[in-house]
Amino acid sequence: MSAPATSAEAIDDKPLPQWQRWATVWLLCLGMIIAYIDRANLSVAVADQSFKSFFQLSNTASGTLNSAFFWTYALLQIPAGFLVDRFGVKKPYSAFFVFWCAISAFTAVAGSMWQLIAIRLLLGVGEALVTPASLRWIRFNVPERSRGMAMGIYMAGTKFGPAIGAPLAAKLIGIFDWRMMFVVLGLGGLLWLIPWLLMVRDDDRKLEATLAKKSAQPGMPFSEVLKTPILWGVLVGTFCYNYFVFFSMTWLPTYFKDHRHLSLEKSGAYTGFSFAGMATVAIIAGWAADQLIVKGWDAVKVRKAFTIAGFVIASSEIFGAMSDSNSVALTMSIISLSGLGLTTANYWALTQTMLPRAAVGTIAGAQNAASNLAGAAAPLITGKLIDMTGNYQAPMQAIWLFLLLGIAMYVFVVKKPREAPAA
């Protein structure tokens, strides 16, 4: 049986060699790692006493700083999706990449709280394109049977970024200071552009046009997509998943340092272990789901099962939060975040499977907007709750409630519509 027209091989008369396809997927993963290093380095800086003293930061102010990036980033996700749907992936991504690396390095010259906020807002603008562009490239270059693995590799970058960035930022602050840390991490990322410009094709618009000609169904306008319960279930579920992720990215080093009394370097290391576990599980879970689909299992049921299982395991974080034992708390942090890796690849791939006729960049932008609204909410709510209660119990309970809501979305709302009975 021939491959369906939706596969990457079927819509391109000169398909990518396998090595180039997977090398590009890993390059997209590396781009996401750099993006997350540049957005997560601030969470390590605010745990550094010299940084906090220089800017005179309260917990609420620290939460505001960690949240500011996501105000512009979330707001621009749908426009960024429109941009890559209109102009393609390669050139817009290149321009935005240079801008965000430069802005990240520019953090070193900040002299006031308001300058820091302005820089973080601009960093959100620069990184706004990364996910819509990357998911668009994967959609038109990786077939469904391999898309879970591709999503797992790419989305692992969102976890390897903090896993690498937290201990690296802590180490650089220890060797130099927080200003040099921002310079090294910001400008160092520019090396990524060399393989991107030399290796990646600029042909996703051509592939999309070819697929549209071969498809028996017309494209679905975004206004029509907005009317589907599936999209809204996905958006709420995405917010719930990322509330935990962004709490961990922005507050976990401080939680380990202030509440569990670890050193800054150990706080960064345990944060890194947690995210590294999540990234590793994400890749394995994406591959495993693909293998089941290749064997004939229903793609929607498989990806939903992995998604829900990840939420369930992640909800075990509440046991670590309730424990007085540092060993239990640190172990449950690693288990809960690693378990959430079952969800990582599959909830993104599930969206493309259930909404195949929607504009890829725009839908990715909408889903990533929901993701990063959580990025804006989690640090702010956490800082407020800590100042109100004087401890981390309420923030941890909030995470648990959002994870339960995420389970409900994928069980009851994100599902195939029932077919009308035959007359």
Residue 9 has pLDDT above 80, yes or no: no
Instruction: Please check whether residue 41 is in contact with residue 169, taking contact to mean a CB–CB distance below 8 angstroms.
Output: yes
269-289 average pLDDT score = 87
Which residues make Cβ contacts (< 8 Å) with residue 76, sequence separation at least 6? 124, 125, 128
| 41-45, 147-151, 153-157, 349-353: range with lowest mean pLDDT | 349-353
Residues near 7 by Cβ (< 8 Å), separated by ≥ 6?
143, 144, 145
* Of 160-174, 307-321, 333-347, the least confident: 160-174
CA separation for the pair 66, 41 (Å, rounded)? 10
Which phi and psi (to 5°) does residue 236 adopt?
A: -65, -45
The one-letter amino acid at 268: G
What is the CATH superfamily name and number for domain 15-208+215-413?
A: MFS general substrate transporter like domains (1.20.1250.20)
Measured CA to CA, the distance from residue 402 to residue 398 in angstroms comes to: 6
Tokens for 232, please give them: 């809204």
**Quick one: angle between helices 18-45 and 90-106, nearest 10?**
20
pLDDT of residue 5: 41
Q: Tell whether the model's pLDDT for residue 57 goes beyond 50.
A: yes
CB neighbour list of residue 188: distance below 8 Å, 6 or more residues apart: none
Bridge partners (DSSP) of residue 220 are 358
Q: Residue range 160-183: average pLDDT?
A: 88
Is the pTM above the cut of 0.75?
no
pLDDT on residue 3: 35
Three-state SS annotation for 238-284: HHHHHHHHHHHHHHHHHHHHHHCCCCHHHHHHHHHHHHHHHHHHHHH
